[in-house]
A and B are shown apart, each in its own frame.
Chain A
């Protein structure tokens, strides 16, 4: 415990260094902006702005992107409440009660509840993160390539078992990401693989950022253009000191829901397929179930705003836990952060704590600071963000497209990759419209090279003996959980059919 406190102290000092503090402010502001813009979320912001962070050292870069991540979680509530359109999918549940509150002239109360709940959710989850991360990383130091591979199988299995999407399409998405990650030279034999149409450009492979920006930049903007077409109705927000003071006194009305959301969000966030959106929805559901007045949910109950907002903030920190300690991202956003860490020359995983303690503890320290900064910025700048929301899409869209194209070019120095980005963006948009989930593909392209390397390393080490994955206890447990997760939807379906059959027999 003492070691943790000393390291945390050093991390906090690092977070207060001028450059890092500036990055926290810039990241929080950028996050609030992307979070409140309908159609843009943390994942889009992180993907689009990652190339720009090459300007600063890795610690400052991850601090910026992590701050952007929290900021986006706060910002999502602004458009959910004032426009009735979730700023990001993570803020979907906030619309249920946030919109009715805005319609009845309580937009300021909803916005303040969202900000305060987000702050509590963020703080609780950061404390949990600080307590859990070092022991988990120390435990993960025992992992060999077998365990790494089994963990990655587990990450993919959670998408199949818990993702809630069409299973064959989810499997297709995961496999497509893994195959695209294999383009280039074989890591063991050095042989060129999948050099399409003999184009030499494919020898360097397809970077994860090209895929991520294609899907989350181009594809997402096309999706947003189609779904909103710029037709939105905004509600006015009246903010006065007296109303703010009154709103602060209302904390007791939603504090219980906030605690539930904070703890639930953190643990759900650590699961790779779950993340902030299901955490927010689950938290909303739980708050409603345990509320003394469940009928008021959906009609403007402030607890219905606080519960999902606390959960989505807590989940964003929770999803960083497996990324930092195990090298397995807990969400699409952390998948991109993990890819960024590889570009910055760091090796994600348990060794980070011993090899780059400044980086890890600087990040953890910045989380505490960023959470407070985002709360202050959010409360202070609500009127400005509401004006920003009125910005027409015909101004925002070209800026994002330009950042996507130049961001990809800046990362790889090749026009070829910008073409791949455009193709992936359009194909991703068309596939997403048919319910093909895109997040597993992004996770797979980041983890693909690591998964193949750990699998082949294990097999070379065991001289081709496949049982090596089943004779090591941690690996075996991970594989068994993965098998259980994959079987879960099938068993669920069989049970449901049996129940239906039994009901129809009783009915007859």
Chain B
């Protein structure tokens, strides 16, 4: 896909999103008009700002049709073919990390994430990989669970119960 096509599609998408936001406010029955003696109703701000977004999108589309924007004249690829793999894989790996955090819990997900990035994407040595795979969850546990007292997601009950062993050890040793 060229930058030119991408700008057209983005313009259409932003226009649809803006109209969708306007519809959302309208469908919720919020007052999008003036309340006598009080000023704007609850829906005025989001509704008319979304209207402004729709207008800005229309102007962008108009400028695209007239070939005014540099992007509308560009036949370069939207994402360079030699890097599209790297970008897609990186974005996909975060998606996988979030999904895995809900299933196997934060720590196992982090270990798999690091294994993937350091070993399979970066092709680093096994000792380096091991350092990152083991070091990251330890750092995260100390920083977020111990210091910031945040209970990070532990996944399905079976994984959560398994993790309690570590928490119990910590409480037995330190408290």
Give the interface of A toward B (CB within 8 A). Answer: 51-52, 54-55, 166, 168-169, 171-172, 175-176, 178-179, 182, 186, 188-189, 191-196, 218, 221-222, 225-226, 229, 392, 394-395, 397-399, 401-402, 405-406, 409-410, 413, 415, 418-419, 422, 425-426, 430-431, 433-436, 452, 455-456, 459-460, 463-464
Can you pick out 13 interface pairs between chain A and chain B where the beta carbons lie within 8 Å of each other? A169-B56, A172-B57, A175-B49, A394-B124, A395-B132, A398-B118, A401-B97, A406-B140, A430-B6, A433-B78, A434-B6, A455-B39, A456-B40
Q: A405-B97, A464-B34 are in contact. Are A175 and B53 (CB under 8 A)?
A: yes
Which A residues are in CB contact (< 8 Å) with B7?
434
Please give the distance in Å from A186's CB to the nearest CB on chain B: 4
CA distance A443 to B7 in the complex (A): 24
User: Contact at B21–A418, with CB atoms within 8 Å?
Assistant: no
Say whether A229 contacts B86, CB under 8 Å.
Answer: yes
Inter-chain CA distance A406–B28, complex, in Å, is 34
Pair A395/B57 contact, Cβ less than 8 Å: no
Contacts of B60 in A (CB 8 A): 166, 168-169, 172
| Contact assessment for A166 and B69 in the assembled complex, using a CB-CB cutoff below 8 Å | yes
Question: Which residues of chain B are within 8 angstroms of A434 by Cβ–Cβ distance?
Answer: 3, 6-7, 10, 71
B residues near A191, Cβ cutoff 8 Å: 28, 30, 42
In-complex Cβ contact of A193 among B28, B34, B80 (8 A): B28
Asked whether B94 lies within 8 Å of A405 as measured between CB atoms, the reply is: yes
A176 touches B6 (CB 8 A): no
Tell whether, in the assembled complex, residue A395 and residue B56 are in contact, meaning their CB atoms are under 8 Å apart. no
Interface residue? B66 (CB, 8 A)? no
> Is B124 a contact partner of A395 (Cβ separation < 8 A)?
yes
Total number of A-B contacts with CB less than 8 angstroms?
177
- Complex alpha-carbon distance, A464 and B37, angstroms: 5
B38 and A394 within 8 A (CB)? no
Which of B7, B41, B53 gathers most chain A CB within 10 Å? B53
Is B90 touching A55 in the complex (CB atoms < 8 A)?
no
Instruction: Give the contacting residue for B37; candidates A196, A410, A422, A463; CB below 8 A.
Output: A463
A256-B3 Cα distance, complex, nearest whole Å: 43
Could you say which residues of chain B place their CB within 8 Å of the CB of A426?
91
Q: Quick check: A456 and B83 within 8 Å, CB to CB? A: no
Asked if residues B25 and A394 are in contact (CB atoms below 8 Å), the reply is no
State the majority secondary structure of interface residues on A.
helix
Contact assessment for B140 and A402 in the assembled complex, using a CB-CB cutoff below 8 Å: yes
Chain B residues closer than 8 Å to A194, beta-carbon distance:
21, 24-25, 28, 46
Determine whether the beta carbon of B93 is less than 8 Å from that of A401. Answer: yes
Contact at A409–B90, with CB atoms within 8 Å? no
Report if B147 contacts A (CB, 8 A). yes
Report the bound CA distance from A402 to B21 in whole Å.
32
**In residues 138-175 of chain B, which contact A (Cβ within 8 Å)?**
140, 143-144, 147-148, 150, 152-153
CB contact under 8 A between A460 and B3, given known A169-B56, A169-B60, A433-B78? no
**Given A405-B94, A410-B150, are A186 and B56 also a contact pair (CB < 8 Å)?**
no
Q: How many residues of B are in contact with the other chain, CB < 8 A?
A: 71
Give A171's nearest chain B residue, CB to CB.
Answer: B56
Closest A residue to B46 by CB, please name it.
A182
**Nearest CB on A from B102, distance (A):** 7
Q: How far is the CB of B37 from chain A (nearest CB, A)?
A: 5
Contacts of B40 in A (CB 8 A): 455-456, 459
Proximity bits, B50-63, A CB within 8 Å = 1, else 0:
10110011011001
Residues of B within 8 A of A422 (CB): 91, 94-95, 98
Distance in angstroms between the alpha carbons of A188 and B28 in the assembled complex: 16
On whether A435 and B56 interact (CB within 8 A), knowing A225-B86, A229-B83, the answer reads no
Would B50 and A464 count as touching, CB distance under 8 A? no
Assembly CA distance A255 to B127 (angstroms)? 49
- Chain A residues contacting B45 (CB-CB under 8 Å) are 178, 182, 452, 455
**Chain B residue at minimum C-beta to C-beta distance from A188:** B42
Other than the given A409-B153, A425-B91, A436-B10, 12 more pairs (CB < 8 A) read: A55-B147, A169-B60, A179-B53, A192-B28, A194-B24, A222-B87, A226-B79, A394-B118, A401-B93, A405-B101, A433-B78, A435-B69
CB distance from B86 to the nearest CB of A (A): 5
Output the least CB separation between B22 and chain A (Å).
Answer: 10
Q: Which chain A residues lie closer than 8 Å to B97 at the CB level?
A: 401-402, 405
Question: In the complex the two chains form, is A405's CB within 8 Å of B10's CB?
Answer: no
**Nearest-CB residue, chain B, relative to A461:** B39
Q: How far is the CA of A392 from the CA of B117 in the complex (A)?
A: 11
Q: Tell me how far the C-beta of B127 lies from the nearest C-beta in chain A, rounded to whole angstroms.
A: 13
B148 A229 Cβ-Cβ under 8 A: no
Known: A172-B56, A401-B93. A178 touches B49 (CB 8 A): yes
Task: Tell me whether B30 and A464 are in contact (CB under 8 A).
Answer: no
Binary contact readout B72-107 vs A (1 if CB under 8 angstroms, 0 otherwise): 000000111011001100110111011001100010
- In contact, A397 and B147 (Cβ under 8 angstroms): no
